[in-house]
Structure 1
Amino acid sequence: MRYVSSGEVRFLKADLLDTEPIFHGFFTRHGGVSPSPWASLNMATSVGDSRENVLENRARALRALTPEPRGIFDVWQVHSNRVVYTRQPRSLGEPHQQADAIITDNPEVVLLMMFADCVPILLFDPGHHAVGIAHAGWKGTVAKVARESVLSMKQAFGTKPEDLLAVIGPSICPEHYAVGSEVTHAVREAFGNDSSEVLLQENGVISLDLWRANQIILTQAGVLADHIQTVEICTAEHTRDWYSHRAEMGKTGRFAAMIGLR
């Protein structure tokens, strides 16, 4: 992986996708106009920041990602496994659809989702020149939004899961993600025998490994293990660069993951 800077905007690129004919990036919190506690490249209006700040931050990120004119498509993220297929950017006056994954095969569209501990998942189908992005917190992980994204790309584009490239981006690590009985029960129900790989117990505390959980989901959906890259950057450990809802006690912004076709 490597960091790319454009002015003060700084984003992370994954090795697995770096040489592919796509734009992609996980944007750090640097280089925006938002004041504290959202400082500074906050991408969400839902956390109290102004719409004007967020629009300027998104414009800066988009310019950093690609010099070519592109439109953004985003959704109202609701911790589901719903996938939206789009062929057009979302206009500013158009209502958001509720979903937690987006797919497209239109090079004019850049897909954007927002994060602050939940798992960003980027997908690229080189055979059919299509991309996807998913948002997987514990609820989306239990609902297997990553699997639904793969299945939706298969249905929409003819994607072969074994051809897909997948990147699991910066998100909370198990060392900082202790969970209670509700989450533990839901994970055991969803993962069965594999739950022992994703629920880690130490000194009476149970933690959830969202990275491993989504690796399992992707491989069970047919993605090859060596086609999956996990960035392994913990948002809760690195709040200087990333927003973390848990580490910052909810008083923080949202960073963006973005992907689009060249």
Structure 2
Amino acid sequence: MGFYEKDGLRYYQFESFKSLPVFHAILTRRGGISQPPFDSLNTGGTVGDDPQAVSSNLKKIFTAFGRDLSSRFDVWQVHGDQVVCADSPRNLDAPYQRADGILTANTNITLFMRFADCVPILLVDPQARAVGIVHAGWQGTYRRVAQRAVEKMSAGFGSRPESLLAGIGPSICQSCYEVGSDVLRLFQAHLGADGKRYFQQQDGGLHLDLWKANQEILYQAGVQQVEVSRVCTACNVEDWYSHRGEKGKTGRFAVIMGIKDH
């Protein structure tokens, strides 16, 4: 199913990326030192966990994949549609940029984002040797943050959408994701007639399919190859942090990605 283990860490990888000149890992919650309810590989620094545990977890992840922690580029994720290109690692003393998509073509950069139900979308352009990670919750989805990332790759790296490969990672499934009618109205306002197709009535509630919505947004942006993990974070809290499944008291799992320099 795409699960692997390395140095005590369990992680997910997309099969369609395996022959490409990139490395990536969607880390499960296993293998760290954080204590409950953040057990154990929490990388979220604003959820109430011990900062020293978070720091230790980060170091373990980067060491396991042979990357220097100083190569990290991350942002303050705000559920928007801003996408930034990184040409150097983030100065760890500098303020975070606010964004929900990060891209690079620099082999010295390790892209890094945090998740707990929202959709991790990974992008690869094997021709331009560029990669990206997108964070798409319901707000980022109706704002088409995945499309913004494709457009930014085209503008910044000369990427052709049809040459891109995308992966939709572990995140909350439609059955577990009940939302209010206000969310439906926003989707219809921003996505038109398409917006309603991502919702269904289930057990008396309205449920949103973030996987389908983001897959179709990528197709509409010109991406032709999209792999969907179909792994639900809320159904599998033994492996994943789930904000919905754990009623808000949980950690954040990591996604890392970069370009191989050989």
Q: CA deviation at 1:203?
A: 4.5
SS of 1:239 mapped into structure 2? coil
* Structure 2 equivalent of residue 260 of structure 1: 258
Q: CA deviation at 1:136?
A: 0.3
CA-based RMSD of the aligned residues comes to 1.2
1:240 aligns to 2:253 (yes or no):
no
1:106 aligns to 2:103 (yes or no):
no
| AA partner of residue 170 (structure 1) | P
4+ residue runs over 4 A deviation: none
Q: Is the 8 A contact 2:125 2:131 kept in 1?
A: yes
| AA partner of residue 7 (structure 2) | G
Kindly provide the CA deviation profile for residues 154-204 of structure 1, in whole angstroms up to 9, marking residues without a partner as x: 000000000000000000000000110111111122222222431112344
Equivalents in 1 of 2:236, 2:7: separation in Å? 21
Q: Is the 8 A contact 1:197 1:212 kept in 2?
A: no
1:121 aligns to 2:121 (yes or no):
yes
Equivalents in 2 of 1:115, 1:36: separation in Å? 18
Equivalents in 2 of 1:218, 1:142: separation in Å? 12
Q: CA deviation at 1:67?
A: 2.1
Structure 1: tracts of 5 or more residues without a match: none
Kindly provide the CA deviation profile for residues 80-138 of structure 1, in whole angstroms up to 9, marking residues without a partner as x: 10011111111321211000000000011010111000000000001100001100000
Please give the residue correspondences for 1:1-262 in structure 2 after superposition, counting only pairs within 5 Å.
1-64=1-64, 66-69=65-68, 71-224=71-224, 227-262=225-260
Equivalents in 2 of 1:3, 1:207: separation in Å? 28
Q: CA deviation at 1:68?
A: 4.8
Q: CA deviation at 1:35?
A: 0.7
Q: CA deviation at 1:148?
A: 0.3
SS of 1:249 mapped into structure 2? coil
| AA partner of residue 248 (structure 1) | E
SS of 1:75 mapped into structure 2? coil
Equivalents in 2 of 1:203, 1:38: separation in Å? 30
**TM-score normalised by length of structure 1:** 0.96
| AA partner of residue 72 (structure 2) | I
Q: Is the 8 A contact 1:30 1:40 kept in 2?
A: yes
Equivalents in 1 of 2:203, 2:85: separation in Å? 44
Percent identity over paired residues:
46
Kindly provide the CA deviation profile for residues 199-258 of structure 1, in whole angstroms up to 9, marking residues without a partner as x: 11234421000000001110111101xx10000000000000000000100000000111
Equivalents in 1 of 2:114, 2:189: separation in Å? 27
Equivalents in 2 of 1:189, 1:207: separation in Å? 18
Choose 27-36 or 184-193, whichever is displaced more: 184-193
SS of 2:193 mapped into structure 1? helix
| AA partner of residue 172 (structure 1) | I
Q: CA deviation at 1:16?
A: 1.0
Q: Is the 8 A contact 2:103 2:133 kept in 1?
A: yes
SS of 2:72 mapped into structure 1? strand
Equivalents in 1 of 2:212, 2:2: separation in Å? 22
Structure 2: tracts of 5 or more residues without a match: none
Equivalents in 1 of 2:67, 2:201: separation in Å? 48
Q: CA deviation at 1:18?
A: 1.5
